[in-house]
Amino acid sequence: MGVLSVPAAVRAILLDIEGTTTPIAFVKDTLFPYIRDNVQEYLRVHWEEEECQQDVSLLRKQAEEDSNLAGVVPIPPETGTREEDSERVIEAVVDNVHWQMSLDRKTTALKQLQGHIWKAAYTTGQVKGEVFEDVVPAIRKWREAGMKVYIYSSGSVEAQKLLFGYSTEGDILELFDGHFDTKIGHKVESESYKRIAASIGCSTDNILFLTDVTQEANAAEEADMHVAVVIRPGNAGLTDDEKSYYSLVTSFSELCLPSSP
């Protein structure tokens, strides 16, 4: 793509994760299949723990709210302490999780359990967060130039910190000044980007947002944020109009920071 000059007003760079810092394939082919393949074993091992029971209660409540949806799997309450009773509930939780994931749902209950399963996987070394090889050197360079760097992802802040804390490049959390998830607002809503700027303590005009999703780029631009669309292997293709409209980069190394005055 060549070189993209970062506007002089920019003081902070806001990064998406999936398809931007990290291959979409890692999320699609590693993280989510890990949940599907290991949720039953995780529940059996951690069933008596309070955190696990809280996760199950939240999923049960969500299943009740979903009772009018086709295919929903209800989660019965435990009626006693018998092992077969626990196993019956575990089977229902597993089926419910698989059902929600098949619909690509993002309920708080599902995300909370997924986060806890991933935490166990990361901390035991069964999973390592993948980042593109240009990411760490580029961010170090930006930080040396005085740039602040933040993450904004639909994945929870906890999941973000696990990915970067247990990455293929080691613990790289020190590279980020802060993390945002959809608690601050959805990524396709321009108000979310205004809230992020307010939280950082600068104007939206002082931020450059890098994402692979044009709807997100559009929302950020509506909030007067600078944007660039990232093209990575495995990302969705762009239309000719999108290619001509947006600033495009294929590597973080293509960003040219403004010279210090």
Binding residues for Mg(2+) are 16, 18, 212
CA distance 243 to 123: 40
CA distance 57 to 93: 10
Binding site as annotated, residues for substrate: 153-154, 187
3-state secondary structure of 28: helix
What residues pair up with 211 in beta bridges, in sequence order?
229
Specify the length of the chain in residues. Answer: 261
Look up residue 147 and give its two tokens. 């740039």
Look up residue 180 and give its two tokens. 């945002």
Main-chain phi, psi angles of 116, to 5 degrees: -70, -35
CA distance 15 to 34: 25
- The set of residues, in sequence order, having a beta carbon less than 8 Å from that of 70 and lying 6+ positions away, is none
Contact, 129 vs 166, CB < 8 A? Answer: yes
Binding site as annotated, residues: 16, 18, 153-154, 187, 212
Look up residue 168 and give its two tokens. 């293929």
